[in-house]
Structure 1
């Protein structure tokens, strides 16, 4: 992938796709390019940047919030440098869009080429969700609604037979389609 100009400000930053290298050029002295990456939740964001060995670029980049704000959503963990590539690690504490400004601190005034890439690994959720809240159900209902942990899977059983399931939305609401049940049927609603 190649950068799209202009991308010299937060508002017009190019989007980076995780695990894909984007190549860019510095068009003039102290040209700065901006990229953005979307992350789905808490986890670790890796940002890698490098140049070919023949260039005179001293590549400077970092991950930041919009307009360099600091709400504590990103924590710098450190970096490693190997074979002309620097990899920086960041702890992401909130889902959202983060920005990666890139510049050549040598200020070369030629079309120097660099590569930039990101990788995100979300934290694993190992804590069982709270029991779902189920709205009133009667024997004419074909849908069960309620609230559960966002992203959890809500399952409806009659005895040991599963009769429906759905994923809770990002705000925690769910809607599970079921066949009409006989009056007095015992429904078991769980989430994982």
Structure 2
């Protein structure tokens, strides 16, 4: 049995956390209840559907690699959802009222940039199923490392812009940086895909 088949604790923890935060946010902020309930139920439902759909597959090495990749993605998605939900709750309890709207926006921007940076650092380390890659494992890993570095740089730039730039142009500049980094990664992935044909 593959060692990757035991990686269930992380996604379970993140699914539970996002469910709890989403449910609490729906209770605290009734005007946004639908969005918060969607956030609460999305990961548990999505993960359950995926696990049910995969239960009849043959339990070979590829199955466990795919399972580990899916569970890593669920954990990452949970983290990306949990941080803004947690900060929304902090705001709803009035803890940040003294900060003012501008500082709240800065904190949210910096948090998102840090999340993006952490995702870029972790993404190349996740398991990749290489059997059907259509190209060498070295090229697949090189692409993953390139994407990770780009996301780290993009997240760092995004964080610094929100931390230091005038608030009036922080959002458009930060979004431009985020879009540019994402487009570069996508272009690199498309180039790799074309080279496999």
TM over 0.5: no
Which of the pair is proportionally richer in helix? 2
Which of the pair is proportionally richer in strand? 1
TM-score by length of 1: 0.20
TM-score by length of 2: 0.20
